[in-house]
A = this chain, B = another copy of it.
Amino acid sequence: MNESQAGNGVGRTAAAIAYAREQQDAFLEEFKALLAMPSVSTLPEHKEDVRATATWLAARLNELRFEQVALHETAGHPVVYGEWLHAPDKPTVLVYGHYDVQPVDPIDEWDSDPFTGTIAGDYIIARGASDMKGQLLAHLQALRSLAQAGDYPVNLKILFEGEEEIGSPNLPAFIEAHRDMLACDFVLNCDGGIHGPGEPAITYSLRGLAYFELELRSAAKDMHSGLFGGSVANPIHVLSELIAGMHDAEGRVTLPGFYDKVRDLDAEERELLAQAPYSDTEWLRISGAKKLHGEAGYNTIERIGARPALDVNGIWGGFTGAGSKTVLPAKATAKLSARLVADQQEGDVKGQLAAYLNAHCPDAVTWKLTEHVHGPGAIMNRKSPYMDAARRALSAAFGKEPFFKREGGSVPIVGMMQRQLGVDSIMLGFELADDGIHGPNERQHLPNYFKGIETYIHFLMDLERVAASSAVGK
């Protein structure tokens, strides 16, 4: 980029935005192509689909004139990487996204094919539309719009992983092995959301996650419920008792030590959170839930963003087919996970669960606890120059000042980047709470998606004014 281009930032922004608006139909077709790839990372039968998606993204980076574009192999799915480093003295942004998606079950609750982007009014419906192929592609389309008018305003490194939905098991090792390659001033993490179509927001806190499978076994094999019912322990009953005992009457988690490290909200932050455009009615609408329910002493915004939670994500045991089978099962299994807030340590939960089971599991059954995955939460600096640039970009694109929010979901990569690269992330994504991510009929609000492209354009152009930190030293 030369000086005359840099001096014409406003004109370049306007030109890029004009291009993006002209290209909306083409961008939407490209979105559909990406949604058609079933990159379900947790299911072995989709392994090649995941790779094909990575290959497709690498081709897009090449088109954008990125360098060092490659699929980096891991023990699981590949990492897509590319860089453009021709803006001396400007910040270096590491753009993070994930191209994998959740499974589609319960498939019979979808109204259209999960891997066909189906337009319905202002929405496009497909698995991954919101989490997060939409945000990821919006960023690439913002870069394409900027590329029409010359070089990029800042240094860019792009890292798209294919294992976020299974807890990024191989990403820490990849980051550790490529610390120099990934060095940056901050991470632009596109895997975030805003409150509503007209309500821009910046997430500055994420919950951590620890996910387990608990199996109880009472006998060598299933029995006949008539011959044995009432004379031996039923592992479904025992599992139910254990799950029921994991919360007290106040909705608090009873695992020993679970709250010991939780950072309490202070009055200032409670006031900040209270400014969110939230209503119970709206929360019921977007969740589809019948009634609110949670820890006593906190409101919903606080329960979601600043308080930990423990949920059973799945349960099964005995006969689950159609009709009746009079079996007394020998085992019962649950998947359960904790959402953690600062300063809880995700590695502590397994021990807390084990202590609970040791104290409460009757000796008529044996238990086995397996940790599937855990990942850190994070709290970010709300006052950095990059956060300021994000605030201005959202304000420009949405015509409204964003508010700061705490997010209930987990984006473990943010905490990993803090620990491994020593940098904060800026969460700039456009998911809506009623997009139905992880569930049936996941959707993306299209006006929001197009505003997202414009936000990324504003953000990158605004960063041109920010000096690179000494940490990267380009």
Contact = CB atoms under 8 A, between A and B. Distances in A.
Q: How many copies does the complex hold?
A: 2
A143 B109 CA distance: 55
B436 A232 contact: no
Interface in A288-337: 288-295, 300, 303-304, 307-309, 311-330, 332, 334-335, 337
Residue with the highest number of chain B CB atoms closer than 10 Å, among A307, A326, A366: A326
A56 B159 CA distance: 66
Given A232-B289, A321-B103, A237 B312 contact: yes
A226 B207 contact: yes
Interface stretch (A241-249, A260-268, A447-455): A241-249
A324 B321 CA distance: 22
Contacts of A271: none
A102 interface: yes
Contact of A240 (B106, B243, B292, B362): B243
Given A232-B293, A288-B220, A42 B227 contact: no
A221 interface: yes
Interface of A: 42-43, 102-103, 105-106, 109, 165-167, 207, 209, 211, 218-234, 236-237, 239-247, 283, 287-295, 300, 303-304, 307-309, 311-330, 332, 334-335, 337, 339, 362-366, 372-373, 407-410, 433, 436-441
9 contacts: A42-B324, A105-B321, A218-B289, A230-B311, A237-B243, A292-B364, A314-B320, A315-B320, A325-B335
Q: Pick the 3 closest A-B CB pairs, nearest first.
A: A226-B409, A230-B309, A220-B288
